Amino acid sequence: MKTILITIAAAMSLSATAAQAQSPEMSPHAADATFGAEGYTSTDGEVLYQTLCAGCHMPDGSGAVGAGEYPALQGNANLEFSAYAVTLIVNGQAAMPAFGTFLNDEQVVALVTYLQTNLGNDFEPDATAEAVANARPETPKDTTKAEHE
């Protein structure tokens, strides 16, 4: 449990300066946490969500409005088709950090499937590893993943 909390904080401080500014309650030592801990190797959508996403979108997906605005993912019609969520998770958008370099295709599929079938959503899961791969930028920052060229 402690590992998970530390990992949330680490993910947020690494990927979003906005989150740092808006989350004064988080430990300043969180950035010391070892990257690659539990949350990043998990392929369990719920674990990934609670580790990486719940800090902004809340554990129940209800979102938050405060210093920043984090949309609710609960009962969210934008999740009916996975393409939008896949693109957003991989590439980020506005204050939503990009997770494409932290998560492999399978992990993104697990996350999106979790979103589509939990948090008050009851959609037909339709994310595929191929769609995730296609959503990745052609020149990913993480060059260890480059395959074609």
Using rule CB under 6 A, residue 43 touches ligand HEC: no
Using rule CB under 6 A, residue 96 touches ligand HEC: yes
Using CA atoms in the order 82, 48, 101, 64, what is the torsion angle rounded to 10 degrees? 70
> Contacting ligand HEC (CB under 6 A), which of 53, 86, 110, 135?
53
> Contacting ligand HEC (CB under 6 A), which of 24, 94, 144, 148?
94
Residue 145 carries which DSSP code? Answer: G
CB of 89 to ligand HEC, least distance (A): 5
Q: In whole angstroms, give the CA distance from residue 128 to residue 89.
A: 14
Instruction: Mark the segment that binds ligand HEC (CB under 6 A) among 16-24, 27-35, 116-124, 135-143.
Output: 16-24
CA atoms within 13 A on the CB side of 146: 8
Q: What is the DSSP string of 84-110?
A: HHHHHHHH-BTTBPP-TTTS-HHHHHH
Using rule CB under 6 A, residue 56 touches ligand HEC: yes
Residue number, 66 or 148, with CB nearest to ligand HEC: 66
Q: Report angle CA 131, 119, 126 to the nearest 5 degrees.
A: 20
Binding site for ligand HEC (CB under 6 A): 12, 16, 18-19, 52-53, 55-57, 68, 70-71, 73, 76, 78, 85, 88-89, 93-97, 99, 111, 115
